């Protein structure tokens, strides 16, 4: 879906998101963050912060839902956390499919919060496919 259309999606322990752009190798999602959401539990009482592991989980969950990977052994290759994600804000998650994996970026208001890449392509025995 492109050209300004959007579609709400959700799944499992993933947040509700709106698809802003959808192409075979690229998705951009919009996620609204509010302090009372379960993703912020325990991080931290004084100021809610979206934990890095939550960002990675969301990227992997949405990427799997879009068919960017199917195997049981994805490998996190590179992750950089550059700016804290604080509510309330609306964040964009960009997913970019690669030959053997995908790349993800979390951005809001022109600020890159985190980015990383996940390598896929291993079978159930852990050997390269």
pLDDT digits (tens, 9 = 90+) for 102-122: 999 999 999 999 999 999 875
- Has residue 90 been placed in a domain? no
Alpha helices in the chain (DSSP H): 52-65
- Has residue 24 been placed in a domain? no
- Tell me the two tokens of residue 60: 């992997």
Count: domains in the chain: 1
- Has residue 2 been placed in a domain? no
For residues 34-58, one letter each, b for 16 or more C-beta atoms within 10 angstroms of the residue's C-beta and e for the rest, the string is eeebebbeeeeeeebbbbbebbbeb
- Has residue 95 been placed in a domain? no
**Average pLDDT over all residues of the chain:** 85
- Has residue 58 been placed in a domain? yes
> What is the rounded average pLDDT of the residues 17-22?
97
Q: Could you give the CA distance from residue 106 to residue 33 in angstroms, rounded to a whole number?
A: 12
Domain of residue 70 covers 38-80+101-110
Confidence of residue 91 (pLDDT cuts 50, 70, 90): very high
Non-local (6+) Cβ contacts of 88 within 8 A are 32, 33, 34, 35
- Has residue 76 been placed in a domain? yes
> What is the rounded average pLDDT of the residues 62-80?
86
Looking at residue 73, its pLDDT comes to: 73
- Has residue 59 been placed in a domain? yes
Residue 23 in contact with residue 68, Cβ under 8 Å?
no
């Amino acid at each position: 879906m492109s050209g300004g259309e959007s579609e709400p999606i959700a799944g499992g322990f993933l947040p509700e998101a709106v698809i802003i752009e959808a192409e075979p190798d690229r998705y951009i999602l919009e996620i609204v963050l509010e302090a009372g959401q379960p993703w912020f539990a325990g991080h931290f009482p004084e100021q809610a912060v979206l934990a890095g592991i939550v960002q990675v989980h969301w990227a992997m969950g949405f990427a799997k839902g879009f068919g960017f990977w199917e195997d049981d052994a994805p490998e996190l290759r590179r992750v950089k956390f550059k700016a804290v994600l604080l509510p309330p804000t609306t964040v964009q998650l960009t997913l970019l499919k690669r030959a053997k994996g995908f790349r993800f970026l979390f951005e809001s208001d022109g600020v890159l919060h985190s980015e990383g890449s996940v390598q896929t392509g291993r079978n159930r025995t852990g050997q390269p496919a």
